[in-house]
C-alpha cells in the first residue's frame, strides 16, 4: 500500500550530479532514513519523491503507482520540512486543516480529524494560536499534525528536528518513533545526524556523493559497514582507520602491525588495505574486558583523556612514540574504556584489538573485505571466519 520505489533516479544540475542512479524500495510501514553529510543528495532524493523536483532520469512509484510526472498534491504524500514551514498568516487550526480544506472535506470531518491529530500530538489547547506565538517544539508538532491529518500513504520528513535544541531533539525522536508505531505509515526520513538514523529507523540508507553506499538495518550498518565511508560515518565517535599493507601473515600499519591470516580473506603480500577498529573494540591489556580473540598487545602512549561519565575516551599514539602535538587523526587511535580503568595522560600502555571486530577495507576502493579478521595460524577453523566474510 504505502510502498515507495525509486528506479534509477538521477538528478543533474547544470554541471553537478546531485543524485546518481539511486534505486531503493521502501516497503509499506517501514521507517527508512536517508543519512549522509551535507550535499550528499539526500534532500534532493526526498524532493524527488515529493515531486518538488523532477528527476533527470528514472521513475518514482508510490503505492505501486507511477508518480514521476504527477504534481506533489496528487502523490498521496505529506511532508515535514526542516524550517517547519507553517503558514504564518493562518492559526494552528487553519494550518493543520489546510490540506483538508483544499480537498473540500465536510466541516465535521475536518474538525474531527484535527481534534484527533491534536490529541495525538498534545496540541489541543494551541489550535487558535498563530505560529509565531508557539515555541519551536510546538511548531514542530503542528507541522507534524498538518502532515498526519490527511492520512497520507507516505510521510516524508526533511531534517524535521534540525532546528530544535539538543534536549528537545532527543525528546521528539522518541515521539516520532511512538507516532510511527501508532500510525504504521511508511516514513522516509532525511537527516545528517547518524544518531537519529540509528535510533529510529528500520533501515538506513547511507548516502554519499549522490549515491547510496549501504541500505541496511541500523545495526548491520554499524557492525558490517559496506565500505569505509559507512564505517566512518555511522557510529560516534567514529571508527579508527589505519592505512596498511599485507606482509606475510601480518597487516602492517605505519606504527603497529596486526597478525592475521590474509589468505583467508583472499589477500596476498603487498595488497594495500585499510584497517578499521571502533573505539569500544580497543581494550587495555589486563583489564577484565580484554577480549578472548585479542590481537597482540600494541604499545601506545596516552595523549588526551576525555571522561564522559559512563565511559572514558582515551586518545592513543600507537607505537609508543612521543605523545607530543599529534592532532592529525591519521596516527591517533581512539579507545573507549570503562571509567574505573586506571589510565592517565602521557603514560605508556598496552592495548589489544578485538579480532572479531577488526574491519578490513580495500585501500583503493574503500569496499569492505572482511568484518572480523582471522587469527594468524591455521589452527583456527576457517569456516568460522568465512561465516563473517563478505
Partner 1 sequence: MATDTEDLAPYERWTRGAIQNPRRVYTGLFYVATIFFLITTLFPFYWLLVIALTPTGMLGQIGITPPAIDPGSFVEIFERLPFHVYMFNSFVLALLTTAIVLLLGSLAGYVFGRLTFPGRTPLMLIVLAISYFPPAAFLLPLFELFTGNVEVLGVQSPVLFNTPGAMVMPFSALFMPLAIFILATFYSQIPDGLEDAARVEGTTRLGALFRVIIPLSAPGVATAGVLTFIVVYNEFFFSFLMNDGQAENWAPLVWGILNYQGQYSQFYNLMAAASIVGVLPIAILVVVAQEKIVSGLTAGALKE
Q: Shortest distance, CB of residue 83 to partner 1, whole angstroms? A: 5
How does strand 154-158 pair with strand 16-26? unpaired
Among 39, 72, 319, 366, binds partner 1 (CB under 8 A): 72
> Which of 35, 62, 77, 234 forms a contact with partner 1 (CB under 8 A)?
77
- Which residues ranging from 51 to 70 are in contact with partner 1 (CB under 8 A)? 51-52
Per CB under 8 A, 291 contacts partner 1: no
Q: Is 87 in the site for partner 1 (CB under 8 A)?
A: yes
Of the pair 150, 301, the CB lying nearest partner 1 is at: 150
Q: What is the DSSP letter of 254?
A: S
Contacts of 102 (CB under 8 A, 6+ apart): 73
Does 103 interact with partner 1 (rule: CB under 8 A)? yes
Our finding on whether 76 is near partner 1 (CB under 8 A) is no
Contacts of 342 (CB under 8 A, 6+ apart): none
Q: How far apart are CA 4 and CA 67, in angstroms?
A: 10
Residues 146-175 within binding reach of partner 1 (CB under 8 A): 146, 150, 156
Q: Which of 83, 122, 135, 365 binds partner 1 (CB under 8 A)?
A: 83
Query: Are 365 and 315 spatial neighbours (Cβ–Cβ below 8 Å)?
Result: no
Stretch that binds partner 1, among 73-81, 132-140, 181-189, 308-316 (CB under 8 A): 73-81
Q: Round to whole Å and give the CA distance between 124 and 97.
A: 14
Question: Site residues for partner 1, window 193-222 (CB under 8 A)?
Answer: none
The SS3 of residue 45 is helix
From candidates 10, 56, 68, 82, binder to partner 1 by CB under 8 A: 82
Cβ neighbours for 343, distance < 8 A, ≥ 6 positions apart? 284, 302, 305, 312, 314, 337, 349
* 85 is a site residue for partner 1 (CB under 8 A): yes
Cβ proximity to partner 1: between 105 and 313 the closer is: 105
In whole angstroms, the minimum distance from the beta carbon of 144 to partner 1 comes to 13
Residue 78 or 206: the one with the smaller Cβ distance to partner 1 is 78
198 φ, ψ to 5°? -65, -45
203, three cell numbers:
533501515
CB of 54 to partner 1, least distance (A): 13
Residues 173 and 158: their CA atoms lie apart, in Å, by 14
> Which of 81, 115, 305, 388 lies at the binding interface for partner 1 (CB under 8 A)?
81
Q: How many residues bind partner 1 (CB under 8 A)?
A: 25
Q: What is the 3-state secondary structure (H, E, C) of 128-197?
A: CCCHHHCCHHHHHHHHHHHHHCCCCCEEEEECCCCCCCHHHHHHHHHHHHHHHHHHCCEEEEEECCHHHH
Interface with partner 1, residue 299, by CB under 8 A? no
**C-alpha cell recorded at residue 278:** 571502533
The region of 95-103, 204-212, 264-272, 342-350 touching partner 1 under the rule CB under 8 A is: 95-103
Asked whether position 105 contacts partner 1 by CB under 8 A, the answer is: no
Q: Which is nearer to partner 1, 6 or 50 (CB)?
A: 50
Please tell me whether residue 49 binds partner 1 under the rule CB under 8 A.
Answer: no
Element (H, E) at 203: strand 203-208
- Taking contact as CB under 8 A, which single stretch among the options 97-105, 159-167, 207-215, 319-327 is the one that binds partner 1? 97-105
Residue 50 binds partner 1 (CB under 8 A): yes
Task: Note whether 11 binds partner 1 by CB under 8 A.
Answer: no
By the rule CB under 8 A, 340 interacts with partner 1? no
DSSP H stretches of helix in the chain:
42-50, 92-102, 107-121, 136-148, 166-183, 194-200, 218-223, 228-233, 382-388
Torsion 327-328-333-335 (CA) sign: positive
User: According to CB under 8 A, which one of 23, 64, 65, 102 is a site residue for partner 1?
Assistant: 102
180: alpha, beta or left? (left if phi > 0; alpha if psi -120 to 50): alpha
Interaction site with partner 1 (CB under 8 A): 50-52, 71-73, 77-79, 81-89, 98-99, 102-103, 146, 150, 156
Amino acid at each position: 500500500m504505502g510502498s515507495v520505489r525509486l528506479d534509477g533516479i538521477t538528478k543533474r544540475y547544470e554541471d553537478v550530479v546531485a543524485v546518481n542512479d539511486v534505486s531503493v524500495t521502501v516497503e509499506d510501514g517501514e521507517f527508512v532514513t536517508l543519512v549522509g553529510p551535507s550535499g550528499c543528495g539526500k534532500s534532493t532524493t526526498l524532493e524527488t519523491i515529493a515531486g518538488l523536483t523532477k528527476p533527470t532520469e528514472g521513475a518514482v512509484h508510490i503505492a505501486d503507482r507511477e508518480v514521476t510526472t504527477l504534481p506533489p498534491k496528487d502523490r498521496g504524500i505529506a511532508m515535514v520540512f526542516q524550517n517547519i514551514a507553517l503558514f504564518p498568516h493562518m492559526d494552528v487550526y487553519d494550518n493543520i486543516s489546510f490540506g483538508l480544506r483544499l480537498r473540500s472535506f465536510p466541516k465535521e470531518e475536518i474538525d474531527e480529524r484535527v481534534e484527533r491529530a491534536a490529541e495525538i500530538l498534545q496540541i489541543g489547547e494551541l489550535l487558535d494560536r498563530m505560529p509565531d506565538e508557539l515555541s519551536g517544539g510546538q511548531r514542530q508538532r503542528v507541522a507534524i499534525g498538518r502532515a498526519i491529518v490527511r492520512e497520507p500513504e507516505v510521510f516524508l520528513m526533511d531534517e524535521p528536528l534540525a532546528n530544535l535544541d539538543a534536549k528537545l531533539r532527543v525528546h521528539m525522536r522518541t515521539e516520532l518513533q511512538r507516532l510511527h508505531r501508532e500510525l504504521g505509515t511508511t516514513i522516509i526520513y532525511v537527516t545528517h545526524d547518524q544518531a537519529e538514523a540509528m535510533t529510529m529507523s528500520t533501515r538506513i540508507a547511507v548516502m554519499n556523493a549522490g549515491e547510496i553506499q549501504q541500505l541496511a538495518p541500523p545495526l548491520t550498518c554499524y557492525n558490517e559497514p559496506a565500505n569505509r565511508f559507512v564505517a566512518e560515518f555511522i557510529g560516534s565517535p567514529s571508527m579508527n582507520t589505519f592505512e596498511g599493507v599485507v606482509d606475510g601473515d601480518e597487516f602492517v600499519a605505519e606504527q603497529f602491525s596486526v597478525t592475521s591470516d590474509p589468505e583467508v580473506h583472499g589477500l596476498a603480500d603487498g595488497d594495500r588495505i585499510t584497517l578499521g577498529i571502533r573505539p569500544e573494540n580497543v581494550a587495555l591489556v589486563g583489564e577484565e574486558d580484554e577480549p578472548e580473540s585479542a590481537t597482540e598487545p600494541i604499545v601506545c602512549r596516552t595523549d588526551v583523556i576525555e571522561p564522559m561519565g559512563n565511559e572514558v575516551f582515551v586518545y592513543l599514539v600507537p607505537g609508543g612514540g612521543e605523545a607530543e602535538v599529534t592532532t592529525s587523526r591519521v596516527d591517533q587511535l581512539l579507545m573507549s574504556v570503562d571509567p574505573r580503568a586506571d589510565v592517565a595522560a602521557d603514560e605508556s600502555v598496552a592495548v589489544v584489538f578485538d579480532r572479531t571486530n577488526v574491519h578490513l577495507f580495500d585501500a583503493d576502493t574503500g569496499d569492505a573485505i572482511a568484518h572480523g579478521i582471522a587469527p594468524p595460524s591455521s589452527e583456527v577453523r576457517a569456516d568460522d571466519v568465512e561465516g563473517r566474510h563478505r
